A and B are shown apart, each in its own frame.
Chain A
């Protein structure tokens, strides 16, 4: 336990630094001279965040764009070589295809399941508890979730007892045990299941709130018209919660695009399961190919760019209305 002490000391320094920084900033604001007071106050409040954002995010992001046109070790300019690698080699194409599968399937299924669950438990007894069950995976790390599912997918030879639930069920109905994580292309599908398992809870919470906000008058009117459950969903609920559905799908898409932990923890990107985020890590931090890694990062950015533009537009129109 000797190594614990310096860590706790460091923790203490961190906390002290926090109070020191906050204290000094507030003091600066308080004691600012009368002349230019507004400016000093503004700087004290805003500068720390803006500096950190520039040093930690903005400038590095711009440099990444430059790096993506350079070779290993970032010495020579290589033009579009890294991008060519990304779109022409078989290994990279596999990665792009897998990522496309993730981004197409996870938002659709996680949102559908979350919506379905939100509808069936709406106003049910024990709703809060039922929600917490499905929501819980949100609190678990993706690493933890991956280990949970690694146990579910565990496989033993046919002559031994199975220890994974999935293969136990297969064997019970008379199939051979299946190597869920090792056999492409379906192993990617089984990894995608893990992400759906995590994101459905998020979809459920947001959509449940949206469903509760649907006006009671509209529902009552539809009920008097004698619509059945499906018609009610199709013609009343769904149109009312459409904005929330879009937000949920966009949010899950972005999260899925960047998903790294699941593939890294379960297969390490082997067996044809690699995605952009894992390939990026491998290229930049294991193989010394910072150029290729940076090109993959730029690809991620280009893919979310339309979302950024759209969101900024929405935000600006909201501001104008106010």
Chain B
């Protein structure tokens, strides 16, 4: 099972071949294509080995991780799932207790992705197809917000949640009193706000490209914007929604900063990344926990990514190149 992810399987796949016509050309071409192959191999190996090392380590007994390198696995293989069992389910305070954090990650991610998608799609549609004064400027403003570092918003936003709206010593809106699982709401709120600019921009790119005749014909037939949105726009922007959904999923699932600030280090709300960063800090050398823990946090985004890579790349190209 472990061998599937090993770099050993990569070389065969990366061969550059293209037979050139002339003799001298062929020699030169072979040389340069040899060089290209070597370069490709070196980069591919450098980019794969660190992850492979982590993956292999996570299945080695704790004692062996502590005393020898993971490459010894090939000469004296020993396999165990103890690290995963311990880091997920052990109840001792020092171990990961990651099962709970894993659920937190899911609870944080799903509503955030849904809301960001829905609200961004609405706004993008309005900006593209409902003409009003200032539409262009509003779009540019939202586009500019996308580049503004979210760090600019952290301190005041956290205060908003802890103090409510206070103006000149008068509390206009009291702070929401969130207990237990309700505290997820603050993390949701922060993530949704921070992802709207990029979401609106990406979806606007697709929605504004829909054929004008189609939209106008629907308007002439008396369809409301709600109807056009549901019956014409939504079915056509599926791929765009998919690519933004993947972005948003990866971003929220992998986020550390927002979670750290808006969940505190509250074990009932904090996601996997927060717990892993904590383990890496306080128990920096306990690699049996770190490797298994890191792999648990990595595996879901990697599966999503591999399954939906096409949409992800399409989104990157739309956002990256137009931006």
- Provide the A49-72 mask, 1 if CB < 8 A to any CB of B, else 0: 110110111111101100100000
Assess whether B313 is in contact with A205, with CB atoms less than 8 Å apart: yes
Number of interface residues of A (CB under 8 A): 128
Assess whether B10 is in contact with A133, with CB atoms less than 8 Å apart: yes
| A45 sits at the interface (CB 8 A) | yes
Question: Which residues in A have their C-beta under 8 angstroms from that of B250?
Answer: 138-139
| A142 sits at the interface (CB 8 A) | yes
Whole-angstrom CA separation of A141 from B47 in the bound complex: 15
- Provide the A119-135 mask, 1 if CB < 8 A to any CB of B, else 0: 11101111001101111
**B residues 55-73 with Cβ under 8 Å of A?**
57, 65-71
Q: Which of A124, A298, A312 has the most CB of B within 10 A?
A: A124
Assess whether B149 is in contact with A248, with CB atoms less than 8 Å apart: no
Assess whether B152 is in contact with A301, with CB atoms less than 8 Å apart: yes
Q: Give which listed residue, A49, A58, A113, A124, contacts B119 with CB less than 8 A.
A: A49
Assess whether A26 is in contact with B229, with CB atoms less than 8 Å apart: yes
Whole-angstrom CA separation of A264 from B261 in the bound complex: 13
Q: Which residue of A lies closest to B32 (CB)?
A: A229
Interface SS of B by simple majority: helix
Assess whether A247 is in contact with B321, with CB atoms less than 8 Å apart: yes
- A143-B277, A300-B152 as given contacts; A148 in contact with B39, CB under 8 Å: no
| B290 sits at the interface (CB 8 A) | yes
Whole-angstrom CA separation of A268 from B280 in the bound complex: 10
Question: Which residues in A have their C-beta under 8 angstroms from that of B257?
Answer: 260-261, 277, 281
Number of interface residues of B (CB under 8 A): 125
* Least CB distance, A123 to chain B, in whole angstroms: 7
Whole-angstrom CA separation of A151 from B126 in the bound complex: 49
* Least CB distance, A241 to chain B, in whole angstroms: 11
* Least CB distance, B132 to chain A, in whole angstroms: 6
Assess whether B13 is in contact with A154, with CB atoms less than 8 Å apart: no
B-contacting 9-mer, from A78-86, A87-95, A303-311: A303-311
Question: Which residues in B have their C-beta under 8 angstroms from that of A161?
Answer: 67-69
Question: Which residues in B have their C-beta under 8 angstroms from that of A307?
Answer: 147
Q: Which residue of A lies closest to B66 (CB)?
A: A163
Whole-angstrom CA separation of A277 from B260 in the bound complex: 13
| B3 sits at the interface (CB 8 A) | no
| B125 sits at the interface (CB 8 A) | yes
Q: Give which listed residue, A116, A125, A168, A294, contacts B71 with CB less than 8 A.
A: A168
- Provide the B253-266 mask, 1 if CB < 8 A to any CB of A, else 0: 11111001100000
* Least CB distance, B186 to chain A, in whole angstroms: 11
Assess whether B155 is in contact with A126, with CB atoms less than 8 Å apart: no
Assess whether B254 is in contact with A164, with CB atoms less than 8 Å apart: no
Listed by A's residue number, 22 A-B pairs whose Cβ atoms lie within 8 Å are A18-B114, A29-B225, A42-B130, A49-B200, A52-B192, A67-B155, A120-B40, A121-B16, A124-B15, A139-B305, A141-B253, A144-B254, A151-B50, A152-B50, A165-B53, A247-B320, A261-B256, A297-B154, A298-B152, A311-B143, A316-B140, A319-B136
Residues of A within 8 A of B (CB): 3-4, 6-11, 14-15, 17-18, 21-22, 25-27, 29-30, 32, 37-38, 41-42, 44-46, 48-50, 52-53, 55-61, 63-64, 67, 113, 116-117, 119-121, 123-126, 129-130, 132-144, 146-152, 154, 160-165, 168, 197, 200-202, 205-206, 209-210, 228-229, 243-244, 247-248, 251, 254, 257-258, 260-261, 264-266, 268, 277, 280-281, 284-285, 290, 293-294, 296-298, 300-301, 304, 307-308, 311-312, 315-316, 318-319
**Beyond known contacts A7-B184, A64-B156: 10 more, CB 8 A cutoff:** A11-B184, A45-B122, A46-B130, A138-B250, A147-B294, A151-B50, A165-B53, A277-B257, A285-B158, A312-B144
